[in-house]
């Protein structure tokens, strides 16, 4: 199977997505390409949600639970 050549940005996105539980390299590639093709509907809101969680949510140092 011939591998499509994509830019370094998409390869980085694929590598990061493949670190998520349940996503291997092939699933991560499909997810990344789907996000790129649907950037206004999916990628921008996902990026905003990730940035929001990064700023406002943390992990409890005692129990490990997610806290706001």
Residue 68: the pLDDT is 85
Residue 31: the pLDDT is 95
**What CATH number does residue 38 fall under?**
1.10.8.420
In a domain, 33, yes or no: yes
Write down the pTM of the prediction: 0.73
In a domain, 1, yes or no: no
Distance between CA atoms of 39 and 43, rounded to whole angstroms?
4
* DSSP output for 19-58: TSTT--HHHHHHHHHHHHHTIIIIIHHHHHHHHHHHHH-E
In a domain, 57, yes or no: yes
In a domain, 2, yes or no: no
Maximal CA-CA distance, the chain: 49
Which regions of the chain are under pLDDT 50?
1
Distance between CA atoms of 40 and 20, rounded to whole angstroms?
23
CA 21 to chain centre: 11
């Amino acid at each position: 199977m011939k591998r499509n050549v994509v830019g370094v940005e998409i390869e980085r996105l694929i590598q990061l997505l493949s670190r998520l539980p349940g996503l291997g390299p092939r699933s991560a590639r499909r997810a990344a390409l789907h996000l790129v093709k649907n950037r206004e509907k999916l990628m921008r809101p996902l990026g905003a949600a990730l940035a929001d969680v990064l700023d406002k949510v943390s992990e409890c140092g005692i129990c490990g639970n997610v806290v706001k």
